[in-house]
């Protein structure tokens, strides 16, 4: 266990952890579909990389059942305390948490699967992280990654406000040195990690006019990214108007009868050879 925490763009304050929970609820169907297609099964021992508020660990817990186990890893002690509290409240007994940095962590023994959702994006060398953790998976086991492809997120048809929001979010990640299209590049990341021929599929959700998800997601992530926007000259706090942004996007959506497209969740998975 380490005591120093690697700087992480979105931080782990309570507002951000609540945002992760809300985002996780929207991502749950796609996440379950990807875990199922990747071959996560009852009885497996699974690592959840960058577990955050714990939502992927909880999905995994229900799939692997009482004969399996899940270890959620995160560099943030705050996030892990939050996740552990939620885990207890849900009565999940096959989940435990480890406080460590993915770059420094060492494991003894093997697991059946390694899973990580929205975490490789925040590592400077995603292929190196994948390669390292693939090394802990037994032959025949599986490595699963889920990352966003953010370019298509927004209203359909787009409005000037939704286009501006999509641009701000994509550009804030880019200016922080992070790739908002990482999901689209997962096959290359897997290949660079020594896992050639990974299956990579994007799952696109759609929310009808009148659904509040778009406004909530946009204002939640922009609230967290606001310091990047103002520091890098992307927009001023007045231009963003964070306190009314979600409501304005929602009103746009209702007025124009638009569908909200969240970022595409792309799943990549690969079996470890030799079984
Ligand atoms: C966007 S959150 C995703 C949380 C969760 N996987 C989900 O999909 O809901 C990213 C998480 O990865 C963690 N993280 C980022 N870099 C890390 C590192 N180098 N080692 C361990 N955890 C890391 C952060 O602390 C944060 O909790």
For residue range 166-211, list pLDDT tens digits in order: 999 999 999 999 999 999 999 999 999 999 999 999 999 999 999 9
Tell which one of 17, 50, 75, 183 to mutate to probe ligand 1, the residue whose CB is within 8 A of the most ligand atoms. 50
Task: Give pairs for 195-199: CB < 8 Å, separation 24+.
Answer: 195/130, 195/131, 195/134, 195/143, 195/270, 195/272, 197/270, 198/268, 198/269, 198/270, 199/37, 199/38, 199/268, 199/269, 199/270
Read off the pLDDT band of 13 (50, 70, 90): confident
How confident is the prediction for the chain on average, in pLDDT?
A: 93
Atom number, ligand 1, closest to the C-alpha of residue 102 = 20
Q: Which residues' Cβ are closer than 6 Å to ligand 1?
A: 6, 8, 10, 12, 20, 24, 50-53, 55-56, 74-76, 79, 101-103, 117-119, 122-123
CB-based contact 172:228 (threshold 8 Å): yes
pLDDT higher than 80, residue 10: no
The residue-averaged pLDDT of 72-84 equals 95
Read off the pLDDT band of 3 (50, 70, 90): very low
The residue-averaged pLDDT of 71-89 equals 95
pLDDT digits (tens, 9 = 90+) for 208-236: 999 999 999 999 999 999 999 999 999 99
The residue-averaged pLDDT of 38-54 equals 97
Lowest mean pLDDT among 1-5, 88-92, 100-104, 161-165: 1-5
Closest CA to 83 of 32, 189, 180, 12: 12
- Tell me the residue ranges of DSSP E strands in the chain: 45-49, 69-74, 95-99, 111-117, 137-149, 154-156, 199-203, 259-261, 264-271
pLDDT higher than 90, residue 53: yes
pLDDT higher than 50, residue 61: yes
pLDDT of residue 1: 43
Atom number, ligand 1, closest to the C-alpha of residue 146 = 8
What is the CA(145)–ligand 1 centre distance, in A?
A: 13
pLDDT of residue 6: 53
pLDDT digits (tens, 9 = 90+) for 106-115: 998 999 999 9
- In CATH terms, the superfamily for domain 14-271 is Vaccinia Virus protein VP39 (3.40.50.150)
Tell which one of 12, 122, 172 to mutate to probe ligand 1, the residue whose CB is within 8 A of the most ligand atoms. 122
Tell which one of 119, 129, 203, 217 to mutate to probe ligand 1, the residue whose CB is within 8 A of the most ligand atoms. 119
Atom number, ligand 1, closest to the C-alpha of residue 10 = 1
Closest CA to 31 of 1, 57, 12, 11: 57
Domain segments of the chain as ranges: 14-271
Read off the pLDDT band of 274 (50, 70, 90): low
């Amino acid at each position: 266990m380490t005591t120093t925490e690697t700087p992480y763009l979105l931080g782990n304050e309570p507002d951000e952890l609540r945002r992760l929970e809300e985002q996780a609820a929207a991502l749950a169907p796609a996440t379950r579909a990807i875990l199922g297609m990747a071959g996560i099964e009852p009885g497996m021992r699974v690592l959840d990389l960058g577990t955050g508020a714990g939502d992927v660990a909880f999905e995994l817990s229900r799939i692997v059942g009482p004969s399996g186990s899940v270890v959620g890893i995160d560099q943030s002690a705050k996030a892990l305390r939050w996740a552990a509290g939620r885990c207890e409240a849900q009565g999940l007994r096959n989940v435990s948490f480890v406080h460590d940095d993915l770059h420094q962590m060492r494991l003894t023994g093997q697991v059946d699967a390694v899973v990580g959702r929205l975490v490789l994006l925040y590592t400077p060398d995603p292929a190196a992280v994948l390669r390292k953790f693939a090394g802990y998976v037994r032959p025949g086991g599986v490595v699963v990654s889920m990352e966003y492809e953010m370019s298509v997120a927004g209203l359909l048809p787009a409005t000037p406000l939704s286009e501006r929001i999509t641009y701000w979010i994509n550009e804030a990640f880019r200016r922080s040195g992070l790739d908002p299209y990482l999901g689209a590049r997962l096959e290359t990341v897997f290949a660079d990690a020594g896992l050639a021929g990974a299956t990579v599929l994007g799952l696109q959700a759609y929310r009808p006019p009148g659904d509040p998800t778009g406004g909530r997601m946009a204002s939640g992530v922009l609230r967290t990214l606001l310091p990047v926007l103002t520091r890098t000259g992307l927009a001023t706090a007045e231009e963003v108007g964070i306190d009314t942004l979600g409501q304005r996007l929602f009103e746009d959506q209702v007025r124009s009868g638009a569908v909200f497209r969240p970022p595409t969740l792309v799943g990549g998975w690969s079996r470890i050879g030799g079984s």
